[in-house]
Every structure is written in C-alpha cells, then in structure tokens.
Amino acid sequence: MSDGAATLRLAFWNTWLLRPRLWRDGPVLPGGAKVFAPDVEARASLVGEAVRDRFDVVALAEVFEASEQRAVAAAWPGVRAVPGPQRRGIGRTGSGLLTLVDPRRATVTHTAHHAYRARGDLRDSDSMASKGVVLTRIRVADHLPEVDVFATHLIAGGDLIPAPGADHTHRHHGARMRQVDELVAFVEEHHRPANAVLVVGDLNVAAHDPDTPDPQHRYEDLALRFGRIGLVDLWAQHGVGHGHTCTFTEPHHIPVDDDHPDLVADHPDHDHTHPGERIDYLWLAQPADGAVVVQAERPRRWAFRDRGVVGGPAGSLSDHLALSTTLTLRPA
C-alpha cells in the first residue's frame, strides 16, 4: 500500500480432529467415530486444503496427534507449522494447538508456548489434554512492528466420568478463569509493547449463556480479565449478528453466504434463541507505543462444506466454524 500499510489475513478454527493414540504415533484408542470424531484421517488433509492460500496465518485447535498435524501441514506445501504444548505421559494427548503461517506472506520471528498448570480433574475429558497457549510472532513488513498471535483452547469440563460434580458448570468456569489468568500472565511476559496482540481460540465461554441467571456474567468475567491488557472482542466490536460458532444440529442453522459457498451468512436480526453458541473468539490489543494503528475488518465465519466428508452434524467440515479477520497495520 502507498501509505506504508500492510495486511494480514488471519483465522482461528477448532477442527475436531480427535483420534487419540496410546502414545505418539502409536495405536489408535478403540471406539472410533462413535466415541471420538468422525473421518479424522480424511478430514485432516481437507482442513489443510481448506485454509491453504486463503489465509496468511491460521491458528488451529484440536489437531491433537502428530499424525494429524503432519497431514494438515502436508496439504499446504511449504507452510511453517508451529505446534503448541505436546503430549506428556502415556494416554494423554497434546494441546491440539497448531499455528500455520504462509512464508510467502509473513515471517515467523519467534515462538513460545506454555502448558497450563490449572486444569480440571478426572471427571473432565479435558484433563487428558495438555491444555495451553502457543505464541507465534509474525512480521508482515520490514518497516512495521510484528503481530504477536497467542492461540489457546480452554477447558470445557465434564463429559468423562459421571461422578458427583462432573457437570457443575461453575466448577468448569472456575478452571477456565484460572487458565485465563495464566494466559494473561504469559502474554504480559512475552509480548513486545510495539507489537499488536491477537488472542484467538476456543475459550468455551459462551457470549450469551442462557443456563445462568445472568447470561452475560461469565463472558463479562472473561472480558474483565482480557480488558486489563487492552484486549477487545472483535466480534462484539465489528461482527454482524450473534456470530454463533458451534452447537449446530441442522444444515439450515448455518446459512450459506450468497457470494461465497464456504462462508456463513450473518444476520443482524437473529436473536439468542437461534441455534448455536459463540465460544470461539478473536481478541485484539493495539500496540502500546502507538507507532502503528491496527484496523480489523469485520470477522467472518467459515463452514467449509461439500468436501465429501463432514465433521459437524450440520454438514460443515468440523463441529465448529472457522473465524477470520483481516488486519491492516498502518504507521500512526
């Protein structure tokens, strides 16, 4: 751009590539699609093909095993792949985090990751994963500061042993907020003040939670913690409609955009009774020194239908939608 600006196309996607192995590259746990996710082997390469050349940086979640991480990256020749925390111990899985960067469009200058100390217990299926956060520092132009992209996937809770308290959502939320506190501390330790900060991920905090007396309480708890480091929810700021990203059961719950078959149409008049929930996020903080201003286009949702296999019951390639934006970095 003539004014010295540069753009960065970025997305986050929970891919639901869940096919645990006893150990790295070892035998797959029995149960298949009935217990875990469907068509994982086929969908792994399709995930890579879906995002290839469409985005400059893609932060993925639930790419749990090294075999699936290799398959996703192989579908995008030359891509730089930055994994999150890996498996620790027999029977456990890694964080599932994998950030892909197109080297033709951006340069990775630094990476780091952190495995959360806070987590659930044996009542929670999430306790089998090494939940954490991965930092990928991106340079898009030599004359501009970098962008620090922090990707995470917080605990959901429950869904393993039907013991007393397994489904207590206040317990799950407490564990998530302890992870958020670790995330915020990790961001404060590692980010550079001159860089924009983008925190992306499946946070398992619904923007509107009808199961609580105050449907906004848990979201506000999250936003308060993120607000302390200047993070702003890009969907709340720029999105159209409620932007639900998961828990769809029928194809018509994910309306197709008229201009692009992979995109999801956004309707400003949908109310909170429309199926789905918003738990996947893009949060942006401006550089602290004010030398660069970062503008974000309105976020969009992607279903990636009609690939021959499906992940989610509503027909998309995963049980979550991908969420994207384009950032423009411009000297102040």
State the residue range of the domain holding 222: 6-331
Q: Is residue 104 part of a domain?
A: yes
Q: Is residue 102 part of a domain?
A: yes
Dihedral angle of Cα 16, 21, 22, 27, to the nearest 10 degrees: 160
Q: Is residue 145 part of a domain?
A: yes
Q: Is residue 198 part of a domain?
A: yes
Q: Is residue 305 part of a domain?
A: yes
In DSSP terms, 134 is beta-bridged to 113, 151
pTM (two decimals) = 0.96
For 152-172, the DSSP string reads EE-----BS---TTTT-HHHH
Give the closest residue to 116 by CA, choosing from 141, 137, 77, 85.
Answer: 85
pLDDT, one tens digit for every residue, the chain (332 residues): 668 999 999 999 999 999 988 888 888 888 888 889 999 999 999 999 999 999 999 999 999 999 999 999 999 999 999 999 988 765 578 999 999 999 999 999 999 999 999 988 888 888 888 999 999 999 999 999 999 999 999 999 888 777 788 788 888 889 999 999 999 999 999 999 999 999 999 999 999 998 889 999 999 999 999 999 999 999 999 999 999 999 999 999 999 999 999 999 999 988 888 889 999 999 999 999 888 999 999 999 999 999 999 999 999 999 999 999 999 999 98
Q: Is residue 1 part of a domain?
A: no
- CATH number for the domain spanning 298: value is 3.60.10.10
Number of domains in the chain: 1
